[in-house]
Amino acid sequence: MRIAHLSDFHLRHHLAGTSLVAQRQSRQMPALLHQAIAQISALQPDLLAITGDLVDYPLDALDDSATIAKGEQDLLLIRKIIEQAACPVAYLYGNHDHPARYRVLFADQDPDRTISDYRLLTFLDDEVRDNTAERLGASRQLFDTALADADPRPQIHLQHYMIFPEHNEGYPHSYREAADLQAAIATSCKVRLSLSGHFHQGADLQSQDGTCYATARAFCEAPHPYRIYDIGDTSVKQREYYVQPRLEN
């Protein structure tokens, strides 16, 4: 089983301007994503995981109709580019996306599906208090049910925020209940791989209590990384690749 992993585009194309953080190259994202998808397709993954912050939505304009329309155009642009990949794609939103519009435009995304011989679960979670994410409602119910039911398939979990290791320096990147989520995963012995975004520095693949955890580095920042994970019978291996911006003539 081979998974490609991209995260944190912070794209703006129809949306005006760019990210307030200078190193996030929002307006270069469409061209760089085209390059990344071509490279990823050549590596023949079984799944492409996209773990949130698809666009860099102006969070002070969540109710502005004109901004919402431009944000929708950017989400549709992302789907058009990403779905040139020669494999299934799993998306989720992040804290810089517009959750309500994502849920409309990506309503076809099944949060519980089969990829190869694995059960793929995607969790749509939100920052609830003090910019800290929590797993609540339908997302928590999916998590608890999947860990407790009789389905024998090994699981792969995708979410925007971090479960393990915890990183909250400067900004809360981990779930408020990260330790409890990790303990539940460990007790279940069902989860082979758990992938996150959100923490732009990323965290390399590491094993904890029988589950491998990894957090992708932000694609919007140089050197524009993406990852490949190869899942074998007894191990998971990570490789990181980069996309170089093409120089304009």
CA–CA gap between residue 216 and residue 212 (Å, rounded):
13
What is the share, in percent, of the chain residues with pLDDT greater than 70?
99
Sign of CA dihedral 98, 74, 239, 24: negative
pLDDT at 115: 96
pLDDT at 249: 47
Q: Which residues contact 133 (CB under 8 A, 6 or more apart)?
A: 95, 125, 126, 127, 160, 161, 172, 174, 175, 176
pLDDT at 247: 58
Q: Work out the average pLDDT over 196-204.
A: 98
Residue 62 banded pLDDT, cuts 50, 70, 90:
confident
pLDDT at 244: 86
Q: Which long-range contacts (CB under 8 A, 24 or more apart) does 173-181 make?
A: 173/198, 173/199, 174/133, 175/125, 175/132, 175/133, 175/134, 175/135, 176/128, 176/129, 176/132, 176/133, 176/134, 177/134, 177/135, 181/135, 181/143
Helix (H) or strand (E) holding 80, with range, is helix 65-82
Question: Which regions of the chain does DSSP assign to beta strands (E)?
Answer: 2-6, 47-51, 89-92, 112-115, 118-122, 126-129, 132-134, 155-158, 191-196, 203-208, 211-215, 225-231, 236-242
pLDDT digits (tens, 9 = 90+) for 145-162: 999 999 999 999 999 999
Residue 19 banded pLDDT, cuts 50, 70, 90:
very high
- Across 180-210, b (16+ Cβ under 10 Å) vs e yields ebbebbeebebbbbbbbbbbbebbebeeeee
Question: Which regions of 52-170 does DSSP assign to beta strands (E)?
Answer: 89-92, 112-115, 118-122, 126-129, 132-134, 155-158
pLDDT at 134: 98
Map out the domains of the chain as residue ranges.
2-242
Q: Are 92 and 128 in contact (CB under 8 A)?
A: no
Closest alpha carbon to 156 in 96, 92, 241, 93 = 92
Q: Are 132 and 95 in contact (CB under 8 A)?
A: no
pLDDT at 248: 56
2-242: CATH number: 3.60.21.10
Give the CA distances from residue 116 to residues 21, 155, 167, 231, in Å, rounded to whole numbers and listed in that order.
39, 11, 32, 11
pLDDT digits (tens, 9 = 90+) for 108-143: 999 999 999 999 999 999 999 999 999 999 999 999
3-state helix, strand, coil in the chain (%, to 5): 25, 30, 45
